[in-house]
Amino acid sequence: MDRKLLDILVCPASRQPLALLDRAGLDALNSAIAAGEVRREDGAAQAEPLGEALVTHDRKRVYRVDDGIPVLLVEDGIATGQVADFPKA
């Protein structure tokens, strides 16, 4: 993802800055998705694993990146609190 774009992106719900989700966070999230334990903010199940994602500064919400394009819709956000082993830092 382009660094200049990443520098200006913020969470549409909390207005916090976003950063690329690290490998540990992505692995924990994808494990929970594979187990059918992850729901998006709109209540729909997140069935597809994430190849890339953005996370808020407080690490409480994740947004997927599809083909290099961030999907910054509040209803498509994923609360990390539902992932038991999601790394906090």
Query: Is pLDDT above 70 for 1?
Result: no
| Mean pLDDT of the region 77-84 | 96
Residue 3's pLDDT is 77
pLDDT band (50, 70, 90) for residue 89: confident
Residue 66 is assigned to a structural domain of this protein: yes
Residue 88 is assigned to a structural domain of this protein: no
Q: Which pTM value belongs to this model?
A: 0.92
CA neighbor of 80 nearest in space, from 21, 34, 35? 21
Q: How many structural domains comprise the chain?
A: 1
Residue 34 is assigned to a structural domain of this protein: yes
The domain containing residue 78 runs over which residues?
Answer: 3-82
Residue 87 is assigned to a structural domain of this protein: no
CA distances 68 to 12, 26, 34, 39, 83, Å, are 18, 16, 22, 22, 24
Q: What is the mean pLDDT of the chain?
A: 95
| pLDDT tens profile 10-26 | 999 999 999 999 999 99
Residue 33 is assigned to a structural domain of this protein: yes
Residue 32 is assigned to a structural domain of this protein: yes
Report the distance separating Cα 82 and Cα 68, nearest Å. Answer: 25
